[in-house]
Structure 1
Amino acid sequence: MKDPRPAGPPAETATGPAEKAPVAKGTVPGSPPLPGSTHVAIVGAGPTGLTLALQLARAGVDFVVLDRELAGHNCSRATAIHARTLEVLQPLGVTEELIARGLRVDNFVIRDGRRRLLEVPLADLPTEYPFMLMIPQHETEGVLSARLAALGHTVRRPCEVTRVNQDQGGATLTLVGGETLRARYVVGADGMQSRVRTQAGIGFSGASYSQQFILADATLDTLAVSHHELNLFFASSGMTVVAPLPGGHFRIAGSSDRAPEEPTVDDIQALLDERLPDAARVLTTRWTSRFRVHSLVADRYRENRILLAGDAAHVHSPAGGQGMNTGIQDACLLGSCLADNALSAYNGLRRPVALRVAAFTDRLTRMATLRTTPGRGIRNGVLPVLGRSTALRRRAARELAELAY
């Protein structure tokens, strides 16, 4: 296995700026003090941790949410919310607000330059939400946080967990500064570099891709890319995702053999010029980063009193935008399992989904990054033929929307 350490933030958790140094214990002024004990300690307040908190609040289960950051991230990171995720979030009272803030996309297109190889329409999906919702992750977190606050709960910030010690009756979390919290169960929703997973001794198996990725949110002067399609571009030099965002911005993610540490407008333009000649001009960027793509899944999702969800349990290629969605769905099921005392079902239900998502996104990424001329020729010839099958297009749409699980 290749080195799993990222060259920058991981695919679905990229933050742009360098990671902050450890922070002292405490809470945001005005938030309640940390209790001595709780039923469930949730470590990490990204979309997965916040969704789990909402599910537990709905079930009347006592919990505490801890996050090492003083405030939520202010960049977009994950941007796509799929139909299945909108379905599972609906009972939590946030789906309609997310839709109101987001941009609906009804077509997923695979292209080689300007040539359209395969279109996957989403409008016929068997769901109340037959589209992909594009919305910056900080907006998603804001909606989840506001709903949590409306239910009378808050995230304790900044609270960084340094150690988790288990025993028969529960677990004790030690924070920076020495403060402790006793919990019957601990959920690690603390990302790819999860300290909770490490403390539990759970392996994280898989591999890293050789290329790095450039990431940007930009405005484009273009007629080649629609605001109602998510485009995956193939090229001999690598893959590029161009996805619309609310407010006229586009998310651009492109593989690169030599990704600069802090990509500039010129770097983004050079990437597009290479793969979409004369198709798009970058006007501005509001955020850029680089990251290395990994395909890793935890060896198990539970170790006694410790459970994993989201990026702490699985990370994948950004192709298809599956990572955050899979994490939110982890959280919804885990919340139900915790409320119903049915934790024995969690690993068996969710880990196979992560393995399937990892395999799906890996196939998509490797197909997109074929380097040999014969391989690209075969791919570009086969995809249009496959695209003539209505059944295949519907199957691909269900897989993308995570309705097949």
Structure 2
Amino acid sequence: MHDVIVVGGGPVGLYTALLLRQAGLDAVVLERRTDRSSHSRAIGIHPPALRALEAGGIADELRERGVLIRDGVARSAGRHVGTISFSTLPGAETYVLAVPQATTEEILERRLEEEFPGTLRRGVSVLSARDAGDHVLASTRGQGGDAVLQARLLVAADGARSSIRDGAGIRAPSRRYPDCYVMGDFKDATDDGDDAVLYLETGGIVESFPLPGGIRRWVVRVGCPVQRPTAEDLTSLIHERTGVDVDPGTNSMLSAFDVQSRLAERFVAGRTILVGDAAHEVSPIGGQGMNLGWLDAVRLVPIITASIRDKQGVAARLAVYEKERRAQAALARRKAHINMALGRPLPAAFMRPRNAILAALIRNDAVHAGVARAFTMQ
């Protein structure tokens, strides 16, 4: 009988398990993938999430292996629109930390294995989970055959298409957006240093973020899903909209995606609790989903720990968790909606006056500080 089974060994599941083990609980992580993915979609770690990661003792290593983005620069048609400085943010983290997701997962997995060997079990799929009243039964299939594991609680960190969520009967209606993107990582040949750059162009937004090792990520908004993106097509789009030359031969990651969001109607069903994308899927732009998931974990683990040790008041505590985290996820989804709307194509006749308004607003100290907080999930 485990205290907690965590389903899903991504960044949110790994960190949830690390916190649970550090709290003295018997937790196990079940991950169907046999190997860690080398694909890095989420790269931005925002100040609230970085503070949450301090609890697990991994924030310092992430800082050492990442890039500190202290300014976000907006350009349009070759002209400077404005700069958002994160120096106005409260606290010590006056930056967004850019770290490839693969690096983040590697750090989390290594720390978990060093401190609590055997917690992560790869190549194990959860076929079904059943609430048995005072415990949960998880039917699994792995390289060693089928097995049934028992735990007092089950945490679903198995992503936006969570089978655990669906099996628990929790509805999570999806909402699709008319936004599609192509992104890729290339050798950085710009003079932008550690700045993030947003190109507000008539054909749609182009975003550019620094990564460790002299790499820069480019994200381009396109009109329809791209089935087979190529580095040549992406760099051609970048040049067409921004005038920046990017060498397709230096490409190290390429991806295309459309956008949808979903918010589970409940985060708790009996002894099953949702965290991360299983609970709330938001636009991947900005890495908000991963950050929200870590904030879920930091809020949830003390509740689980107290409930298992004193066996009282768990329902009331989880009700508060669900209310607070749903509200935060709904707010993040609204912000993502606004961000995507600002990045959609706009005729030049409307783009120029809109950018002039944005520039004037950015120069206002109060607005500037508010925008900086909004971009960093504060």
Q: TM-score, normalised by structure 1?
A: 0.85
Distance, in Å, in 1 between the alignment partners of 2:235 and 2:87 is 32
- CA distances 1:274-294 after superposition (whole Å, capped 9, x unpaired): 221245444411111211111
Distance, in Å, in 2 between the alignment partners of 1:253 and 1:112 is 16
- TM-superposed CA distance for 1:375, in Å, is 4.4
Indicate how the Cα distance of structure 1 residues 113 and 280 shifts in structure 2: closer, same or farther if over 3 A, else same. farther
Match of residue 199 from structure 1: 167
Distance, in Å, in 2 between the alignment partners of 1:167 and 1:116 is 61
Q: Please tell me whether residue 116 in structure 1 is matched to residue 80 in structure 2.
A: yes
Q: Please tell me whether residue 160 in structure 1 is matched to residue 107 in structure 2.
A: no
Q: Please tell me whether residue 182 in structure 1 is matched to residue 146 in structure 2.
A: no
- TM-superposed CA distance for 1:273, in Å, is 1.7
Which residues of structure 2 form unaligned runs of 5+?
308-316
Distance, in Å, in 2 between the alignment partners of 1:57 and 1:205 is 33
Distance, in Å, in 2 between the alignment partners of 1:276 and 1:64 is 48
Which one of the candidate residues 30, 44, 55 is aligned to 2:19? 55
Task: State the Cα RMSD in Å.
Answer: 1.8
The AA in structure 2 aligned to 1:353 is Q
8 Å contact from structure 2 (residues 179, 340) kept in 1: no
SS, match of residue 369 in structure 1:
coil
Match of residue 307 from structure 1: 273
SS, match of residue 178 in structure 1:
strand
8 Å contact from structure 1 (residues 241, 253) kept in 2: yes
SS, match of residue 214 in structure 1:
strand
Distance, in Å, in 1 between the alignment partners of 2:109 and 2:167 is 27
8 Å contact from structure 1 (residues 105, 227) kept in 2: no
- CA distances 1:62-99 after superposition (whole Å, capped 9, x unpaired): 21101010011112211111111111111211011111
Distance, in Å, in 2 between the alignment partners of 1:335 and 1:117 is 43
Q: Please tell me whether residue 290 in structure 1 is matched to residue 256 in structure 2.
A: yes
Instruction: Write out aligned runs for 1:3-402 (5 A).
Output: 37-153=1-117, 154-176=119-141, 177-223=145-191, 226-278=192-244, 280-341=246-307, 342-373=317-348, 375-402=350-377
Indicate how the Cα distance of structure 1 residues 302 and 375 shifts in structure 2: closer, same or farther if over 3 A, else same. farther
8 Å contact from structure 1 (residues 262, 288) kept in 2: no
8 Å contact from structure 2 (residues 221, 343) kept in 1: no
- TM-superposed CA distance for 1:199, in Å, is 0.7
SS, match of residue 252 in structure 2:
strand
The AA in structure 2 aligned to 1:351 is R
SS, match of residue 243 in structure 2:
coil
Match of residue 33 from structure 1: none
Distance, in Å, in 2 between the alignment partners of 1:134 and 1:159 is 31
Which structure: greater helix fraction? 2
Indicate how the Cα distance of structure 1 residues 71 and 280 shifts in structure 2: closer, same or farther if over 3 A, else same. closer
Q: State the number of aligned residues.
A: 365
8 Å contact from structure 1 (residues 160, 175) kept in 2: yes
Indicate how the Cα distance of structure 1 residues 235 and 144 shifts in structure 2: closer, same or farther if over 3 A, else same. same
Distance, in Å, in 2 between the alignment partners of 1:170 and 1:230 is 47
Which residues of structure 1 form unaligned runs of 5+?
1-36
Distance, in Å, in 2 between the alignment partners of 1:202 and 1:110 is 41
- TM-superposed CA distance for 1:374, in Å, is 5.2
Aligned-pair identity in percent equals 32
Distance, in Å, in 1 between the alignment partners of 2:28 and 2:320 is 23
The AA in structure 2 aligned to 1:189 is A
Which stretch has the larger CA shift, 98-107 or 275-284? Answer: 275-284
- TM-superposed CA distance for 1:249, in Å, is 0.7
- CA distances 1:286-342 after superposition (whole Å, capped 9, x unpaired): 111211111221112111111111111112223333221111111111112211223
The AA in structure 2 aligned to 1:245 is L
Q: TM-score, normalised by structure 2?
A: 0.91
Match of residue 311 from structure 2: none
Indicate how the Cα distance of structure 1 residues 278 and 370 shifts in structure 2: closer, same or farther if over 3 A, else same. closer
Distance, in Å, in 2 between the alignment partners of 1:132 and 1:302 is 31
SS, match of residue 387 in structure 1:
helix
